[in-house]
Amino acid sequence: MDPFTKIPGGIYRRMRSIFLKKAAARGMKIVQSHPPFDTCFNSSSIGFSRVGPAAPPMELELTGVGGKDVGWSVFGFNSIVSVSDEKSCWAFLDGGAQTHSTSVLGTFQQQGNFFEFDLQNSTLGFSGHLNFFRTSCSNFAF
């Protein structure tokens, strides 16, 4: 299991650029990187919301059944990781050229969401963040 989502290099750089512009508009202050993360912020410059750090939300577009696009919203709870009291980082990793067109969905990004992996039909279903439903994974007996 990979703890953090790895994205092919070219896509990662575009996503990071867009995220940084939106983060700057929110007043998030960039600080020195913290390996393996290359994009970090002063924690005190990030507000807090019911879905975690008040970072810019991200909408990941996935191709669904029948070619229909499906959006998965990623909020601060799954996009910002605290690495110290003073520093929080964007929780996505540059997969580099080696990943080609494959992305790895990390466990950090999965937290607080239900995912259904239907291996027979090669599909993935997801709930959206459970905080919006006023519940959490700990409320379920699996």
Domains annotated on the chain, with CATH: 5-110 (2.40.70.10)
* pLDDT tens track for 89-111: 999 999 887 655 677 788 888 88
Mean pLDDT, residues 9-25: 96
Write down the residue that tokens 């459970």 correspond to: 130
What's the count of helices (H) and strands (E) in the chain, helices before strands? 3, 12
What average pLDDT is seen over the chain? 88
Residue 23 is encoded by which pair of tokens?
A: 């983060």
The pLDDT of residue 117 is: 82
| b/e 70-95 (16+ beta carbons within 10 angstroms → b) | eebebbbbbbbbeeeeebbbbbbbbb
* pLDDT tens track for 55-82: 999 998 877 777 788 888 899 999 999 9
The pLDDT of residue 72 is: 83
> Could you report how far apart the first and last alpha carbons of the chain are, in Å?
19
Residue bearing the bigger pLDDT, 123 or 44: 44
Residue 14 is inside which H or E element, if any? Answer: helix 9-25
| Cβ proximity of 83 and 26 under 8 Å | no
